[in-house]
Amino acid sequence: MTVLGNQAVRDIETVLHPYTNLAAHRDTGPLMLERGKGVFVYDSRGKDYIEGMAGLWCLSLGHGHEELIEAATAQLRKLSFAHLFNGKSHDPAVELAEALKGMAPTPTSKVFFCNSGSEANDTQVKLVRYMNNALGRPAKKKIIARDKAYHGVTVASASLTGLAANHTDFDLPIPGILRTACPHYYRGAQDGESEDDFTSRLAAELEALILAEGPETVAAFIAEPVMGAGGVVVPPASYFPKIQAVCDTYDLYVISDEVICGFGRLGTPFGCQALGFRPDSISVAKALSSAYVPIAAVTVPETMYEATLEASRRIGVFGHGFTYTGHPVAAAVALKTLEIYAREKIVEQVAAKAPQFLAHLRRLADHPLVGNARGLGLVGGIELVADKATKRSFDPKLGVGARCVRFAEEEGLIVRALASDTISICPPMIITPAEIDELFARLDRALARTLESVR
């Protein structure tokens, strides 16, 4: 039996942990992290770990970046807080909105700020409703999201999320959310189906769903370019162009959830550019501030803005916004983050390092435990299976993915186990080639120990 230290006991007594098996946590206690530098983080005993998940897909510039610390401190000294309600404003919010408007992959009229990816996607749901009411088509409200999608955990965004753990016993999803297939070729393709046939089938299924519901009732389609938390699902190249064509035919508002893929993660400025689709709006968060402070944003196209303008004239106010919408400290840090991305050519850096990262993933595909290895840019996943030939998964009760994560931690690497024993890897974008090799060396050792443990 593990004897838990004082820190661990205090944690167990006080903190309700997100995304944690609360019963198991009472026995194992927390991993207490104390400090970080670059891609490394250190626990309270001084042991080092590579941040193989960039925190939660977010710490793009690594720990301790002095310019970001300076930007936050300077803004805290100058104007610690100001809100954007009732027409008030401040320079950091305006400058950040200008920067995002300038770089967005889709024509953008305005930018709405939030604090998290969940709030951004909740805002998308509300804006779609608001717009269609203003446009005089109150029946056009349903939103299509995909199986295994991850769009957050607030009531509306959790409803967009397509994972059982986010719905069960929370009485979700809310009405008006429709579900379509996930473009997971390894798991979803029928026997002998080519990638092209697979994506044609998914597009046909989407069209059939819209027709069955009535196109006049379906308002929007939301998708992550590469699905993150649902298992690092990289769609076949022909998927999004076919899906986009269906959305265009039925006048659906297309939302790209760029919370993970935005700002260079896939080797392009935004994920939709790597996957070949043209959204009407994007949701961004995480790497927007390199995770140093919470901030997120939604881009608003001109047609959407015109509709909200009209509605707010009629109602008297655009009745949406958070206390911390456009927080000056968060906006200042985000602005500095975008400046560093541009100066350091972070998108080009990711594109240049991706072949080495993806070659390691391809090599792991030969490992006896790895049924499928997939990735794009600097994000990847390996799906652990009991039988490679039949793709049979392990019994979830065995917790093989969680075991691999624990071995990785012992080897000095932080990764995550997603559903179906998929281990995700998403290092800070500033990781060096030598650190990429070291990350995979630690993962190799963790996989060897996992294999040993299931034999």
Give whichever of 166 and 450 is closer to ligand PLP, judged by the CB atom.
166
What sections of 250-324 are H helices per DSSP? 271-275, 302-315
**For residue 20, what is the DSSP state?**
S
CB of 191 to ligand PLP, least distance (A): 31
Give whichever of 225 and 301 is closer to ligand PLP, judged by the CB atom.
225
Question: Among all residues, whose Cβ is closest to ligand PLP?
Answer: 117
Judged by CB under 6 A, the residue of 60, 116, 180, 273 near ligand PLP is: 116
Of 224, 250, 92, which Cα lies nearest the Cα of 150? 224
Q: Is 266 in the site for ligand PLP (CB under 6 A)?
A: no
Give whichever of 206 and 222 is closer to ligand PLP, judged by the CB atom.
222
The backbone torsions φ and ψ at residue 254, rounded to the nearest 5 degrees and listed phi first, read -100, 125
Give whichever of 58 and 134 is closer to ligand PLP, judged by the CB atom.
58
Of 46, 12, 18, 47, which Cα lies nearest the Cα of 30? 12
Q: Is 117 in the site for ligand PLP (CB under 6 A)?
A: yes
Give whichever of 210 and 429 is closer to ligand PLP, judged by the CB atom.
429
Q: Is the dihedral angle over the CA atoms 355, 360, 365, 371 positive or is it negative?
A: negative
Show the tokens assigned to 339: 């400046």
Show the tokens assigned to 370: 């790895």
# residues contacting ligand PLP (CB under 6 A): 16
Q: Is 262 in the site for ligand PLP (CB under 6 A)?
A: no
Residues of span 427-446 touching ligand PLP by CB under 6 A:
none
Judged by CB under 6 A, the residue of 140, 146, 151, 367 near ligand PLP is: 151
Give whichever of 57 and 112 is closer to ligand PLP, judged by the CB atom.
57
Q: Is the dihedral angle over the CA atoms 176, 127, 272, 166 positive or is it negative?
A: negative
| Structural element, H or E, at residue 94 | helix 91-103
Q: Is 337 in the site for ligand PLP (CB under 6 A)?
A: no
Residues of span 35-64 touching ligand PLP by CB under 6 A:
56-57
CB of 268 to ligand PLP, least distance (A): 16
CB of 451 to ligand PLP, least distance (A): 29
Judged by CB under 6 A, the residue of 8, 127, 220, 229 near ligand PLP is: 229
Stretch near ligand PLP under the rule CB under 6 A, chosen from 164-172, 252-260, 312-320, 423-431: 252-260
Residues of span 126-145 touching ligand PLP by CB under 6 A:
none
Stretch near ligand PLP under the rule CB under 6 A, chosen from 30-38, 103-111, 253-261, 268-276: 253-261
Q: Is 150 in the site for ligand PLP (CB under 6 A)?
A: yes
Spacing of C-alpha 153 from chain mean position: 12
Judged by CB under 6 A, the residue of 162, 225, 228, 235 near ligand PLP is: 228
Contact 92, 75 (CB under 8 A): yes
| Structural element, H or E, at residue 3 | none
Q: Which string of b and e fits 168-196 if b means at least 16 CB within 10 Å?
A: eeeebbeeebbebbbbbbeebbeeeeeee
d(C-alpha 285, C-alpha 297), whole Å: 6
Residues of span 268-297 touching ligand PLP by CB under 6 A:
285
What share of residues in the chain are helix, strand, coil (percent, to 5)?
Answer: 45, 15, 35
Residues of span 196-225 touching ligand PLP by CB under 6 A:
224
The backbone torsions φ and ψ at residue 182, rounded to the nearest 5 degrees and listed phi first, read -90, 140
Judged by CB under 6 A, the residue of 71, 96, 223, 260 near ligand PLP is: 260
Spatial strand order of the sheet with 296-300 comes to 110-114, 296-300, 281-284, 253-257, 218-223, 142-146, 177-180
Of 241, 287, 295, 260, which Cα lies nearest the Cα of 425? 260
d(C-alpha 112, C-alpha 119), whole Å: 11
CB of 453 to ligand PLP, least distance (A): 29
Q: Is 118 in the site for ligand PLP (CB under 6 A)?
A: yes
Give whichever of 150 and 407 is closer to ligand PLP, judged by the CB atom.
150
Contact 439, 40 (CB under 8 A): no
Residues near ligand PLP, by CB under 6 A: 56-57, 116-118, 121, 150-152, 224, 228-229, 257, 259-260, 285
